[in-house]
Amino acid sequence: MEETKSLKTKTYTGGNVIPLEKGKLPPQAVELEEAVLGAMLIDKKGVDEVIDILQADAFYKTAHQYIFESIFELFEASEPVDLLTVSNDLKKKGKLDQAGGNTYLVNLTQKVASSAHIEFHARIILQKYIQRSLIKISNEIIENSYKESIDVFDLLDEAESKLYDVTQGNIKKSSETAQSLVIQAKKRIEDISKREGLSGISTGFEKLDQLTSGWQPSDLIIIAARPGMGKTALTLSMARNIAVLKQIPVAFFSLEMSSVQLITRLISAETGLSSEKLRTGKLADHEWEQLNVKVSDLEKAPLYIDDTPSLSIFDLRAKARRLASQHGIKLLFIDYLQLMTAATSSKSGNREQEISTISRNLKALAKELDIPVIALSQLSRAVETRGGTKRPLLSDLRESGAIEQDADIVSFIYRPEYYGIDEWDDEERSPSTGQAEFIVAKHRNGGLDNIRMKFIGSLGKFEDLTQFDSAYEFPSKMNAADTPETIDPNNFASPSQAFGLDDDPDDAPF
């Protein structure tokens, strides 16, 4: 009976006690641990192969943890690693007896003849450690779930954080040789050469596509602007161009607006019916018909919208992985970055550190799924106090410089009419009403440019700015009684006014 009881708990990893079911032991591979440590003590090549795969806690036996710690510290100090140096280091720390003494170290070196297969053995040890970590976390979650004093959302947050730490800390990608990478790069170039058009995903904006060759896989793209500039309108226009016109699966995470509000804005852009009319529901008979006919393409579009508020980066990664596996999404939009949480249990970090964690993980997500991730971002108020044209700068990115560092592309939206400026600051002094500038301020793999676009405020929509469009100002109002059948284009200042395009930014929700 006493023997059975002794198996119910097992001390490992610095004395943590894990409750186990009757007769069960934690996953372990002690013999492989001995083989790996023995190989590291007799062969420098063995140290090089596994030093970045394992950590001290990955070893089940406490003596092995002390030996690996000593090997790791000697390696970091560029000191030789062998039986004598490790023994001497353990003796200095007063841990030689806890590590089994010199006799145990000698026995480890006698268990192996070389470092052959050491990496394979190390990965099995790592797998056992991950299994033990999951058991430990699961038991802690079960124990805390019975405590009424712990808030359930704090419990969820803590569980997410611990699982995320296991994923980040233990799943590592090995390096690849230049030869294998050259082969991969050549294959990609060949695939691109056979493909018609762009190498990435088309945005639906001609000049932007020319500059970027489309949004590229694994890139993190930041689109930043002050409130009211049209960040959501631009990304919805892109999402519509990609999902509706190209039938490419797209995911849109909205932390600010509800999914119904977003789809209503897409309906407005798709049907040409103003947001105001859709909000009030005051549509003429022909407009109801227009609505029913033109939303059919939007209904069939592979567009997935998630409006979970205060979404954590952990939840986002889990949801994105699920969408990628189930629906094959090729592009991810996040509106917007500052509304996300890092989902860490520690309360000591400041907001700048939290934003740094979020931006770093968004880049990691883009690489993991091999898709472009487009995140919207707010700008600081420094833009408003600046004189001149008030064009945003990289230094205006709000709350963290890490956003600029992690992103492959940083871009801004600038609409002069928002600040009461009715002409561009170029030599022609051309009218700026109903227009916007997409400023590419950082481009890791390409050039920079300021690209002008047409902004249709009443529809919450961006379009390519043609030469014909740029010759006119876009008036903000038309007579509500006018219909397409009764309009005489000669009575208006521009063709846009004839078709009822209301560009007053005050009427458009952002």
Domain that holds residue 74: 2-170
Check pLDDT > 80 for residue 10.
no
Name the most confidently modeled range: 61-70, 233-242, 425-434. Answer: 61-70
Q: Are 64 and 37 in contact (CB under 8 A)?
A: yes
Residue type for 64, please?
A: H
Q: Is the model more confident about 153 or about 59?
A: 59
CATH number for the domain including 87? 1.10.860.10
Check pLDDT > 50 for residue 220.
yes
2 is catalytic: no
Q: Give yes or no: residues 357 and 453 share one domain.
A: yes
Q: Give yes or no: residues 110 and 249 share one domain.
A: no
pLDDT in tens, 342-388: 765 444 457 777 888 888 888 888 888 889 999 998 888 877 777 77
pLDDT band at 481 (very low <50, low <70, confident <90, very high): very low
Q: Pick the range with the lowest mean pLDDT from 34-38, 340-344, 429-433.
A: 340-344
Q: Is residue 176 part of a domain?
A: no
Q: Give yes or no: residues 266 and 370 share one domain.
A: yes
Please tell me the predicted confidence (pLDDT) of residue 92.
92
Q: Pick the range with the lowest mean pLDDT from 134-138, 330-334, 356-360.
A: 356-360
Q: Give yes or no: residues 266 and 358 share one domain.
A: yes
Secondary structure (DSSP) of 16-76: EEEE--TT------HHHHHHHHHHHHH-HHHHHHHTTT--GGG-SSHHHHHHHHHHHHHHH
- Give the percent of the chain with pLDDT over 70: 81
Q: Give yes or no: residues 209 and 159 share one domain.
A: no
Q: Is the model more confident about 322 or about 302?
A: 302
Check pLDDT > 50 for residue 5.
no
pLDDT in tens, 390-416: 788 887 776 666 787 888 888 888 888
Q: Is the model more confident about 145 or about 325?
A: 145
Please tell me the predicted confidence (pLDDT) of residue 87.
92
Q: Give yes or no: residues 139 and 206 share one domain.
A: no
The tokens for 126 are 């790592």
pLDDT band at 489 (very low <50, low <70, confident <90, very high): very low
List 256, 287, 404, 423, catalytic entry: 256
> Which whole number is the average pLDDT over 286-292?
80
Q: Is the model more confident about 161 or about 423?
A: 423
Please tell me the predicted confidence (pLDDT) of residue 171.
54
CATH number for the domain including 378? 3.40.50.300
Alpha carbons 66 and 72: distance in angstroms, whole number: 10
Alpha carbons 406 and 395: distance in angstroms, whole number: 14
Domain boundary among 155, 170, 185: 170
Q: Give yes or no: residues 98 and 145 share one domain.
A: yes
| Residue 411 three-state SS | strand
- Indicate the number of domains in the chain: 2
Q: Is residue 186 part of a domain?
A: no
pLDDT band at 43 (very low <50, low <70, confident <90, very high): confident
Q: Are 329 and 310 in contact (CB under 8 A)?
A: no
Check pLDDT > 60 for residue 479.
no
Q: Is the model more confident about 510 or about 193?
A: 193
pLDDT band at 419 (very low <50, low <70, confident <90, very high): confident
pLDDT band at 155 (very low <50, low <70, confident <90, very high): confident
> Which whole number is the average pLDDT over 93-103?
91
Please tell me the predicted confidence (pLDDT) of residue 467.
60
- If you average pLDDT over every residue of the chain, what do you get? 78
Q: Give yes or no: residues 27 and 127 share one domain.
A: yes
Q: Is residue 419 part of a domain?
A: yes
Alpha carbons 209 and 440: distance in angstroms, whole number: 12
Alpha carbons 427 and 236: distance in angstroms, whole number: 32
**DSSP 8-state assignment for residue 257:** S
Q: Give yes or no: residues 248 and 122 share one domain.
A: no
Q: Give yes or no: residues 160 and 211 share one domain.
A: no
pLDDT band at 125 (very low <50, low <70, confident <90, very high): very high
Q: Give yes or no: residues 65 and 209 share one domain.
A: no
Q: Give yes or no: residues 64 and 112 share one domain.
A: yes
Check pLDDT > 80 for residue 233.
yes
Domain boundary among 116, 149, 170: 170
> Which whole number is the average pLDDT over 139-153?
86
Q: Residue 410, class by beta-carbon neighbours within 10 Å (0-12 exposed, 13-18 middle, 19+ buried)?
A: buried
